Amino acid sequence: MAFLSRRAGQALVVLVVAFVAAYVLLALLPGDAVLARYGSPELGLSPDQLADIRASYGADDAFPVRLWRSALGFLTGDWGYSVQSGAAVSTLIATALPATLVLAALGFALALLLAGTIAFTATYGRGRWLRRVFRSLPPFFVSLPVFWIGIILIQVFSFRLGLVPVLNANPVQSLILPVITIAIPIAAPLAQVLMRSIDEVSEQPFVAVVRARGASTSWLLWKDVSRNALLPTLTMGGLLFGELVGGAVVTEAVFAREGIGQLTAQAVANRDTPVLLAVVVLSTVVFVVINLVVDLLYPVLDARLRTGGAR
């Protein structure tokens, strides 16, 4: 219980610091989003009308007042309104979030599958040449930019082979290439960490003892080596899951998918700071929650941590 309280307190501190830092950085951006949106002569707004609009957004209030009001709004569920569209930011996030969550979840699941396949084949595959080929895959995948992967997949599987349609695709077909695109960069570091962990665990004395007792390679792999090798990979997976939002921005832009990524790109182009602040806070919450879950899973996977905690 003390461990959970301490981690929850640390998570709260991270959220507060991330919110303040994001708000300050967005406030320091050059230009005025309200004037950029409503100050155009084509709109024909009078100075009084423009002043009323600025007052509705609180654009002329002192910085501490705006920061405090924004913080209270996030705590109460009032995330403000988009400068570009005038819609509630919470509504925009709620509309865009489900598509991004589906893409992120499927991409992360595929990344775990790819990482496990690469790591175990590189360690226990038959033939030295096969193991070398699979060990060379993670560095190669890491070097590939996300946008380049998406473009190549579209060129090969859509335009050349015609296997996955780009236009008029059903919901399942529209997810195939984006999921692969977002999974490859995440799978590479996971596979590297998992391979290194398998190598280190395989050299431990207890593995030699279990092997001397007549255990088969598959028994060693699934009952002894894998359970201990997954711990560092679990930590890396929690860290990488936070990067899926950044990958989603590029992936959704390449495949013209609606979601948080496309919403973020539009907000950056229009200097829509309320939307950008909400996206940053949402990304921080996801990152903190995932890492908190990872910390809570450690004692479940490693009995030594449970014993140490009890003592």
Tell me: pLDDT of 126 over 70.
yes
The percentage of the chain sitting over the pLDDT mark of 70, rounded to a whole number, equals 81
Write the CB contacts of 1 (distance below 8 Å, at least 6 apart in sequence): none
Residues 181 and 60 placed together within one structural domain of the fold = no
CA-based angle 260:149:259, to the nearest 5? 10
Residues 59 and 207 placed together within one structural domain of the fold = no
Q: Which pLDDT does position 137 carry in this prediction?
A: 85
Q: Decide if 21 is inside a domain.
A: no
Tell me: pLDDT of 307 over 60.
no
Residues 192 and 257 placed together within one structural domain of the fold = yes
Rounded to 10 deg, the angle between the 273-301 and 226-241 helix axes is 170
The domain boundary, picked from 17, 50, 78, lies at 78
List 88's β-bridge partners, or say none: 81
Q: Please answer whether residues 132 and 192 qualify as being in contact, where contact means their C-beta atoms are separated by less than 8 angstroms.
A: no
Q: Which pLDDT does position 197 carry in this prediction?
A: 80
Out of 62-71, 205-214, 246-255, least confident range: 205-214
- The number of folded domains in the chain is 2
Write the CB contacts of 102 (distance below 8 Å, at least 6 apart in sequence): 175
pLDDT tens-digit series, residues 168-185: 778 888 888 889 988 888
Residues 215 and 71 placed together within one structural domain of the fold = no
Q: Is 307 exposed, middle or buried (0-12, 13-18, 19+ CB in 10 A)?
A: exposed
227 versus 187: the higher-pLDDT residue is 187
Q: Which pLDDT does position 218 carry in this prediction?
A: 63
Split at pLDDT 50, 70, 90, the class of 136 is confident
pLDDT tens-digit series, residues 14-23: 888 888 888 8
Residues 207 and 259 placed together within one structural domain of the fold = yes
Structural domain of 212:
89-310
Q: Which residues of 270-302 are buried (b: 16+ CB within 10 A; e: fewer)?
A: bbbbbbbbbbbbbbbebbbebbbebbeeebeeb
Split at pLDDT 50, 70, 90, the class of 166 is confident
Q: Which pLDDT does position 191 carry in this prediction?
A: 86
pLDDT tens-digit series, residues 4-46: 677 778 878 888 888 888 888 887 777 667 776 676 667 667 7
Residues 104 and 183 placed together within one structural domain of the fold = yes
Rounded to 10 deg, the angle between the 273-301 and 244-254 helix axes is 130
Split at pLDDT 50, 70, 90, the class of 223 is low
- Indicate the average pLDDT of the chain: 79
29 versus 264: the higher-pLDDT residue is 264
Neighbour tally for 252: CB within 10 Å: 25
Distance CA 223, CA 217 (A): 10
Residues 198 and 171 placed together within one structural domain of the fold = yes
Q: Please answer whether residues 243 and 184 qualify as being in contact, where contact means their C-beta atoms are separated by less than 8 angstroms.
A: no
Split at pLDDT 50, 70, 90, the class of 80 is confident
Residues 64 and 96 placed together within one structural domain of the fold = no
Split at pLDDT 50, 70, 90, the class of 50 is confident
**Using alpha carbons only, how large is the chain's radius of gyration in Å?**
24
Q: Which pLDDT does position 257 carry in this prediction?
A: 83
Distance CA 21, CA 8 (A): 20
Q: Please answer whether residues 91 and 278 qualify as being in contact, where contact means their C-beta atoms are separated by less than 8 angstroms.
A: no
The domain boundary, picked from 23, 48, 78, lies at 78
Residues 108 and 72 placed together within one structural domain of the fold = no
* DSSP code at position 154: I
